[in-house]
Structure 1
Amino acid sequence: MLQRLRGRPVVRAAGGVVVRPGPEVLVVHRPKYDDWTFPKGKAEPDETDEECALREVEEETGLRCLLEDELRATRYRDSRGRPKVVRWWRMSVDRGEFEPNREVDEIRWLRPDAAAALLSYERDLPLLDVLRG
C-alpha cells in the first residue's frame, strides 16, 4: 500500500461494514464529531490492516466480528489535511454486545436505504452496495 502520497505520509486506517440478515448494516454515532459512519480507525505500526479493522470495530462497538469480503477502499483528506486511505471489510458478528463508550455513544442496525439517509459522509455511501442486490 502507498506509504506516501505526493510527498506526504498517508494515514493508514481500516474498518468494518458489519452486516446481519435483513439485510441490515451497523452504523455508529461518534459524539466527538456528532456524525454517523461505519466503525474504523487508524492502524498501529505493528498490525496488519485486517487486524486493525477487527480491533477498531471491537473497540468502538464491543462486537467481535469475523472478516468476510474486502470492499473498496476510501481515500480522502482527514481533518488535518493529511491523505488518508481506509481499507474496508464486510464483517459479521461472532459475539459481544454494544456498550456506549467515549468514542461511540450509539449504534443503529439499519436497512440500506435508512443507513444511506443517516450517514454523514458521501464517501461512505458506496460501501452500502455490499447489501444491495
Structure 2
Amino acid sequence: MTGEPVRAAGCVLWRRNKDDGTVEICLVHRPRYDDWSLPKGKLKQGESLLEAALREVLEETGHTCAPGPRLATTHYTAKGRPKEVTYWSAEATGGTFTRNKEVDRVAWLPPDQAESRLSHPQDRPLIRALVTASGQGR
C-alpha cells in the first residue's frame, strides 16, 4: 500500500434488548457492495474522527448515540488505496432506521451473531473489543 490512507471513522453501535436486557449490535447492509458492516464513512474536511463516526451512524442507521470507549483502528486496501477506519463503542440513544441510498437494511443482533454476519473479517475483532471494553456479556 502506498500513499496517504483514506481516513474514515465509525461505531460499533449497540443497545439493550427491551425484553431481556441483552446487548444487540447494529449492522448495516450496503446494497452497492451486498455486504454487512458496521456504520462508518470517510471524514469530511475539518471534521474530527469522532464527529465523522457519530455523523455516519446517524446517516446510515437513523440513530443518535452516546460515544463510549475508542475501540481500534482497522487498516486495509479499498479500491487500490490504503484505508484506515477508527471505531468507537456507541450506545444507541434514539432514532429510527429509514432506508437510504447507502443502506437498505439494518440488523440488531447479539454479539456472536453480529460477528458471524459481518462480511469483512477485519471488523470481527471490533465486536469482541466492544464486549470487553464495556463489560457486556454475550
After TM superposition, the score normalised by the length of structure 1 is: 0.91
Kindly provide the CA deviation profile for residues 7-31 of structure 1, in whole angstroms up to 9, marking residues without a partner as x: x021000001001121110001000
Kindly provide the CA deviation profile for residues 91-128 of structure 1, in whole angstroms up to 9, marking residues without a partner as x: 01122110111111100110111112211000010001
| Distance in 1 between residues matched to 2:92 and 2:114, nearest whole Å | 18
- Report the counterpart of residue 110 of structure 2 in structure 1: 111
Unpaired runs of at least 5, structure 2: 17-21
| Distance in 2 between residues matched to 1:116 and 1:88, nearest whole Å | 15
| Distance in 1 between residues matched to 2:37 and 2:94, nearest whole Å | 21
**Aligned partner of residue 116 in structure 1, secondary structure:** helix
**Aligned partner of residue 97 in structure 2, secondary structure:** coil
RMSD (Å), alpha carbons: 1.2
Among all aligned residue pairs of Structure 1 and Structure 2, give the percentage whose two residues are the same amino acid: 46
- Report the counterpart of residue 20 of structure 1 in structure 2: 15
* Number of residue-to-residue matches in the alignment: 127
Q: How do residues 1-133 of structure 1 correspond to structure 2 at under 5 angstroms? A: 6=2, 8-21=3-16, 22-78=22-78, 80-129=79-128, 130-131=130-131, 133=137
Structure 1: 4+ residue segments shifted above 4 A: none
After TM superposition, the score normalised by the length of structure 2 is: 0.88
| Distance in 2 between residues matched to 1:55 and 1:65, nearest whole Å | 10
